[in-house]
Amino acid sequence: MNAPIARLFVVVVVLFGVLVGFTSRWTVFEADALRDNPKNRRELLEEQQIRRGLIRAADDTVLARSLKQADNSYVRTYPAGRLFSHAVGYSFVRQGRAGLERYYDDDLSGRNSELGSLIDRLSGSEQEGDNLLTSLDPDAQRVALQQLGGRKGAVVALDPRTGAIKVMASVPGYDPNTVKNQRAFTALNRDNDAPLLNRNTQSGYPPGSTFKVVTAIAAIDSGQYKPDSRVSGRNGKTISGVPLNNDAGESFGDITLTEALTHSVNTVFGEVGEKVGKLTMKKYMDRLGFGRPVEVDLPRDERAASGERQRGRIIPATNGAVDVGRMAIGQDKLTVTPLQMAMVAASVANGGKLMKPHLGDRIVDRDGRTVDRIQPEELSQVMTPDTAAQVGAMMSQVVKEGTGTAAALEGIDVAGKTGTAEVDHGCPNQLWFIAFAPVQDPTVAIAVTVECGTGFGGTVAAPIAKAVMQELLT
Amino acid sequence: MTSARNRELLALVPASLLLTAGFAAVFIERDDVLSNVSLTYGALFLGLCLAAHIVLRFTLPYADPYLFPLFAVLACFGLVMIYRIDDELAREQAQWFVIGLALFAATIILLRDYRTLERYRYTVAAVGIGLLLLPRLPGIGSQVNGAYLGVKLGPLTFQPAEFAKIAIIVFLASYLRDTRQLLVIGARRFAGITIPPLKHFGPLLIVWGAAMVMLFIIQDLGSSLMFYGGFLAVLYVATDRFSFVAIGLALFGAGSWALYHARPTITHRVDAWLHPFGSLYDQVGGSYQIAQSVFAQADGGLFGRGFGQALLKVGDSPLLPAAQTDLIYSVIVNELGLIGACAVLCTYLLAIERGFKIATLARDSFSKLLATGLTAVFALQVFVIVGGVTRVIPLTGVTLPFISYGGSSILANFVLLALLLLISDRARREAIEPR
């Protein structure tokens, strides 16, 4: 009877081989598919067990914190509510993550420090996230939101020397605390006013006359024009074969570039744009960050690119479909994000050196040690310091005696540019103001835009910029 | 044969060390401190094993030296896993170990001549079937998930199927010892298939059939599978006729097909097995358990998440239902990965190899068939539950021997171990001291 016993053992070995095979199938071969199975909530549930780090404003105000639930899991709360909804974002098991919560997820959930988590495991303590200290300024943010006063739009202000963002306001906003309620989240997603959208980095607006600053940079830095170069500001000049009009049909004689910027003369900058040409325009736009997703420490899908758009896609300024004369005054098919326009102002403010905008400042562990410092990063030298000084002086005139006088601050020189862009779809205008201050030693660069506004950039957007700069500078 | 016992003693040391290390790992994970309680557990376990070892040294000096340490490794591993799931359950499990070891010693001492069992084969069979009927008796029967598995005696729940499996195997072994020749000689060939004579096969079919009917009445599918497989294994070894096994498998296939279509509970089970992520996922008693089982395994990967790292509960509701019994293998895979799971399966395979080895060494047919049958049901029990949680076969509720939480399982498996050691001692003694 020993032979059948041996055969029986072989059968058992084969059966166990099948068990090993199936265990391998789930643990190795099909593990990824199983982890991605929508019914598999293990990963999310495990995240809930982790105490995420705090997100703090520059003045240490807590913007996001994890609270322990009765069942020992953690849930995120946002003590500042709607104040920084778009910059901070949210992090919930069912709804996922957005904003800084998503961009700095590895740090906030403590996943970044391999060694740290190993030590945690050996010592038996819970995995804990590091804190994120941001450069956000709650007081200035509050002023920005007050100033927008419920009008749809965006305000973004940063330090041109470092790229540290102080204000990132987008209206309408939402209270991130409500996002964890799935029904409320669905409603936010379906809302036609798109409250979840960060208008500073995700919305493409026609820039209007604020884009003349870009044209001025290209014209002067390429050596083809000087601030006192004279160009005809006659109304109805032919640009790209089509007559172009000035605001209110006002006609000017041969005026300097400075005068043309001060009074936002379309026909001057249309001609300058044509003369400078697509290639040079493209060069300076590239240096300023156009044509690629706006540079900031937010998730990729929360960053839109600025530039000429055709059928929803960004095309280079050298494309045959581009009317460079109209692009030069911010018309044509140009769409820009408010942050991109703030970067234009910042590059002029910082002597032509464009710093990468960032919201995060430092990663700090629970014991207060700085784990990582987000270093100021130079994106490009857009123009020579000389050009920057000349363009800056031209922009000062705008606030001193031109279209942007409403942004003037007492005792502080402000440089700026207004914009009032026509919008096709049943809206009056897209109102803009970009600026920096103090002119002598700039510490703030700002972009303000208001959707569907009646009036002008100089009457609606400039006062908002003024109030925010005042808060930031005093 | 002191050298066999010395080897056994030596092999118990790593088992105890494993337990100590396992508890240490769980303590570190849970309480942040390495308390000396883990040493206490290790020492206690070593003490228990030593006590059992001394019993073996005096009563069964010739018995297989590896079987007991292998089972001890499984038992201590199970204890650590259960402790990691719920320390209160682990304490109960440890108590069951003490009772189990007492039963183990009692079995060895009372059944020194286990061959007396042969004389009571019909009594044993009747007891086995009676045990299977108990859960259906009003008053003491208890129903879990549509299956009548347990018997409640005061505070204790007891699963008679675990003991019934031993009784049925004893009956099969003793019956087939007498009739195996007759089954082969009297067989007729019909259409190329060897059909056993009904006259001698009859009583066997009746007893075994009664057992199967009982199992269907109590709806214990896993145990039915085990019994059926054990029966075929013993029959095959007794007759060396593969055709008997083929007929058995064919009948099994037909029966399964009929049951699948006839019984909604079984249809449900099979559908949950085939489509765990489908519409059955959200239904009560649907495929949630099996889906979570494979999710947990995927989460473990090759090396696992480490002792005590598995996520078992969401708040107060379980993520892995029945983690300490049915799904304990999933917890093992989650925490120790494919590597750890293979190690556990290898340990089982080694124990099974020793069981079959005992069967080949045994001199008489009854001992051979008994050792084969006991080892086969043991192996099948592992296959049924591990196969269930890894989606090889539909998931049914049987315990992973010595690892899953459950008093009856521990007690029955200690009796099984005692019987195997008794057979082994006799076989090896006879090999050395010919009569």
Segment B351-378 mean pLDDT: 93
Instruction: Record the tokens describing residue B318, joined without a space.
Output: 């379980």
Question: What integer pLDDT is reported at residue B134 of this predicted model?
Answer: 78
Q: Nearest CA of chain A to the CA of B425: how many Å?
A: 18
Q: What is the CA radius of gyration of chain B?
A: 22
- Nearest-by-Cβ selection for B240 from A4, A15, A122: A4
Question: What integer pLDDT is reported at residue B302 of this predicted model?
Answer: 85
pLDDT value at B31 more than 70: no
Q: How far apart are CA B242 and CA A7, in angstroms?
A: 11
Segment A235-254 mean pLDDT: 88
Which residues of A fall below an 8 Å CB-CB distance to B? 1-6, 8-9, 12-13, 15-16, 18-20, 22-28, 30-32, 34-35, 37, 39-40, 42-43, 45-46, 49, 69-71, 73, 121-125
Confidence of residue A363 (pLDDT cuts 50, 70, 90): very high
Pairing of strands A55-56, A131-134: parallel
Chain B residues with CB-CB distance to A13 below 8 A: 349
Pairing of strands A360-364, A131-134: antiparallel
Confidence of residue A125 (pLDDT cuts 50, 70, 90): low
In the predicted model, what is the mean pLDDT of chain A? 90
Chain B residues with CB-CB distance to A71 below 8 A: 314-316
Interface contact flag, A26 B390, Cβ < 8 Å: yes
- Nearest-by-Cβ selection for A9 from B240, B316, B356: B356
**Residue A297 vs residue A241, higher pLDDT:** A297
Question: What integer pLDDT is reported at residue A247 of this predicted model?
Answer: 83
Chain A residues with CB-CB distance to B302 below 8 A: 27-28
Chain A residues with CB-CB distance to B316 below 8 A: 71
Chain A residues with CB-CB distance to B306 below 8 A: 121
Q: One-letter amino acid identity for B400?
A: L
Q: How far apart are CA B273 and CA B394, in angstroms?
A: 5
Instruction: Indicate the angle between helix axes B221-239 and B198-217, nearest 10 degrees.
Output: 160
Strand partners, A64: A55
Pairing of strands A74-77, A62-68: antiparallel
Question: What integer pLDDT is reported at residue B253 of this predicted model?
Answer: 82
Instruction: Record the tokens describing residue A148, joined without a space.
Output: 């927008």
DSSP per-residue codes, B216-252: HHTT-HHHHHHHHHHHHHHHHHHH--HHHHHHHHHHH
Q: Of A158, A148, A62, A53, which is closest to residue A108 (Cα–Cα)?
A: A53
ipTM of the complex: 0.91
Instruction: Record the tokens describing residue A54, joined without a space.
Output: 């705090």
Interface contact flag, A12 B379, Cβ < 8 Å: yes
CATH 3.40.710.10 fits A140-173+204-357+378-473, yes or no: yes
Q: Nearest CA of chain A to the CA of B23: how many Å?
A: 14
What is the DSSP-derived secondary structure letter of residue B315?
Answer: T
Chain B residues with CB-CB distance to A34 below 8 A: 294-295, 297-298
Q: Name, in order, each residue with C-beta under 8 angstroms of A285's C-beta and a sequence gap of 6 or more.
A: A214, A291, A307, A317
Instruction: Record the tokens describing residue B96, joined without a space.
Output: 């069951």
Size of interface A-B (CB pairs under 8 A): 137
Residue of chain B minimizing CA distance to A39: B277
> Domain limits of chain A?
140-173+204-357+378-473
Question: Best residue in B33, B299, B312, B348 to probe A by mutation, most A CBs within 10 Å?
Answer: B299
Confidence of residue B220 (pLDDT cuts 50, 70, 90): confident
In the predicted model, what is the mean pLDDT of chain B? 82
**Residue B18 vs residue B350, higher pLDDT:** B350
pLDDT value at A234 more than 70: yes
Specify the range with the lowest mean pLDDT, choosing from A83-87, A276-280, A453-457, B344-348.
A453-457
pLDDT value at A109 more than 90: no
Interface contact flag, B392 A19, Cβ < 8 Å: yes
Q: Strand, helix or coil at B61?
A: coil
Chain mean position to CA B360: 21
Question: What integer pLDDT is reported at residue B399 of this predicted model?
Answer: 87
Strand partners, A422: A429
Q: Which helix (H) or strand (E) holds A43?
A: helix A42-48
Percent of chain A with pLDDT over 70: 96
Is the distance from CB of B312 to CB of B318 less than 8 angstroms?
yes
Specify the range with the lowest mean pLDDT, choosing from A149-153, A305-309, B97-101, B315-319.
B315-319
Reported as half-sphere exposure (CB side, CA atoms, 13 A), residue A16 has a value of 25
Strand partners, A358: A164
Is the distance from CB of A427 to CB of A452 less than 8 angstroms?
yes
Q: How far apart are CA B177 and CA B211, in angstroms?
A: 20
Q: How far apart are CA A399 and CA A418, in angstroms?
A: 9
Interface contact flag, B376 A49, Cβ < 8 Å: no
Segment A245-255 mean pLDDT: 88
Q: Strand, helix or coil at A231?
A: strand
Q: How far apart are CA B330 and CA B312, in angstroms?
A: 10
Q: Nearest CA of chain A to the CA of B133: how many Å?
A: 30
